[in-house]
Amino acid sequence: MKHIPKQELHGFHDGRLSAEREREIVLHISSCNACRMESEDLARIRSWILSAGDVRPHSSFAGDAETRAYDTEQLEGQWLGIEKVAARTVLVLSVLVAALTAFSMIASPPASASVDAVLNDDRQDSTVVQFMVEHEISRDEALVAAVTKQE
């Protein structure tokens, strides 16, 4: 007697076969010990798994789950609030720093423009001051000397 292929027996067990094939298999296992035993094994394993899954969550489980979900959401919401405030603060500070940098660039040009700056008396040039002190001359004289030296 030709046995039913194992894959097919599993398909039979899962109700995946056509009605006609199912009938053939039922007929076969009624007269074939090996296939019947295999089929019964599959059925037993299923029923044992079903009976082993006997965990019943306690009555307050659902309530606890809801509370935990809401609490976590609230906590995350708070964190999100803090993150938003932090992000805004960083943005404002960045804009402020950028503005101050730009202002200071306009207000005090870099050292390369020192001769013009000194001539326009826009800022104190330590070289000019030092020159004034060393040679005991006036600021105007020192400026002229500085320009001459530069040229």
Partner 1 sequence: MFAGFFCAVKRNFPPPRSFFSVTDKQRAPDDWTVVQAVLAGKPGAFQTLVRRYERQVANIIYLSLGNREDVEDLSQEVFLRLYQSLPRLNPQRSLFSWIYRITANLCIDEIRRRKIKRILSLEFLIDEGRSLAEMGGRVHAPDRILEDQERRHAIVQALQNLPADHRITIVLREYEDLSYEEIADALQISVPAVKSRLFRARERLRALLEPHLRGGS
Whether the CB-CB separation of 29 and 2 falls below 8 Å is answered with: no
**CA atoms in the 13 A half-sphere facing the CB of 39:** 23
> Looking at 18-26, 58-66, 101-109, 112-120, which segment touches partner 1 (CB under 8 A)?
58-66
What is the closest distance, in whole angstroms, from the C-beta atom of residue 106 to partner 1 in the complex?
A: 49
Question: Which candidate, 19, 24, 20, places its Cα nearest to that of 5?
Answer: 24
Q: Is 36 in the site for partner 1 (CB under 8 A)?
A: no
- In the list 2, 7, 30, 120, the residue contacting partner 1 (rule: CB under 8 A) is 7
| Interatomic CA distance for residues 29 and 49, integer angstroms | 23
Please, which residue, 55 or 111, has the CB nearer to partner 1?
Answer: 55
Instruction: Single out the residue of 24, 26, 36, 64 in contact with partner 1 (rule: CB under 8 A).
Output: 64
Residue 72 or residue 94: which is nearer to partner 1 going by CB?
Answer: 72
> Which of residues 3, 26, 36, 41 is near partner 1 by CB under 8 A?
41
Cβ within 8 Å of residue 139, ≥6 positions away: 128, 132
The count of other CB atoms within 10 Å of the CB of residue 33 is 9
Length of the chain (residues): 151
Tell me which stretch binds partner 1 (CB under 8 A): 21-29, 61-69, 97-105, 107-115. Answer: 61-69
- Our CB check for partner 1 shows the closer of 41 and 116 to be 41
CA-nearest of 31, 53, 29 to 40 is 29
Gap between the Cα atoms of 11 and 25, Å rounded: 11
Interface residues toward partner 1, by CB under 8 A: 6-7, 10-11, 14, 16, 38, 41-42, 44-46, 48-59, 61-66, 68-70, 72-73
